[in-house]
Amino acid sequence: MATIDFSETSAIVVGGGSGIGAATTLLLSELGSSVAIFDINAVAASGIADQVRNGRCEPYEVDVSHETELQAAVAAVVERRGAIDFLVNCAASFIAAGRDATKRDWDQALGVNIRGCASSVSAVSRHMPPGSAIVNLSSISAHIAQPNRWTYNATKAAIVEMTKCQALDLAPLGIRVNAVSPGWIWTPEVEKAANGDRKRWEAVWGKFHILGRLGEPGEVANAIAFLLSPSASFITATELMVDGGYLALSAEGSGQESRFASSH
């Protein structure tokens, strides 16, 4: 695989102010792309932009569930940068609710995770030349049952299917669209769930993965960069699992505690 060189390219990373989005922003900038961060948290977005040298990164305060804000931000990027080569949709509502989910819970989950992703692709793709690429962030939660997770899991599953439809519709324009589905990644949301105690909880959550650990945001960013690159030129409508073997692992776990483990 050729070394990735994104010189003379322009990217938008939605949700680029923290977690996987921040890691993706920093990596794309390092590889030479000029990156616009769209994030509802202006302070976080500015903090990431400040880490990028040579002025190749600009923060925009955007709530992607608000169409007018999104359209205005896209117009501003196009005016400043011209065509947009890459779009990465990392923004997410992490509301997890089940039978007791309120209308407000559903509106937020659908507004950010589904409508925000759809609106971003619709708006940005109109300014993308042939050879451009889009990556949407889904999750292992798109494929499994988890307690009290109707809102989050439903939207992540929808992103996988929407990615396929977007890939079909945008293929005649020379635009590829793929999805990445991470396993448990040490992001701010996971750190919050662990009350900052990574040593304790990684030992617990790491057992859900064949590799026996949680992933790093940068490891997902590497996969995203690959899918955006020319090395993935014949890959579209595909979901790439970056899950440390989470979905391949059965209820038996690693098998180390099974009485059959030593015979295989």
Q: Point out the residues that are catalytic.
A: 152
* Element of type H or E holding 204: helix 198-205
**Positive or negative: CA dihedral 179, 184, 187, 188:** positive
Residues 260, 236: Cα–Cα separation, whole Å: 40
Tokens of 151: 């809102």
Residues 221, 225: Cα–Cα separation, whole Å: 6
Max Cα–Cα distance, the chain, nearest Å? 64
Q: Which of 175, 35, 15, 13 minimizes the C-alpha distance to 87?
A: 13
In this structure, what DSSP letter does residue 237 have?
S
**Positive or negative: CA dihedral 150, 152, 155, 156:** negative
Tell the residue number behind the tokens 């440390």, with chain if given.
244
Residue 121 burial class via C-beta count within 10 angstroms: exposed 0-12, middle 13-18, buried 19 and up: buried
For residue 38, which phi and psi values (nearest 5 degrees)?
-105, 115
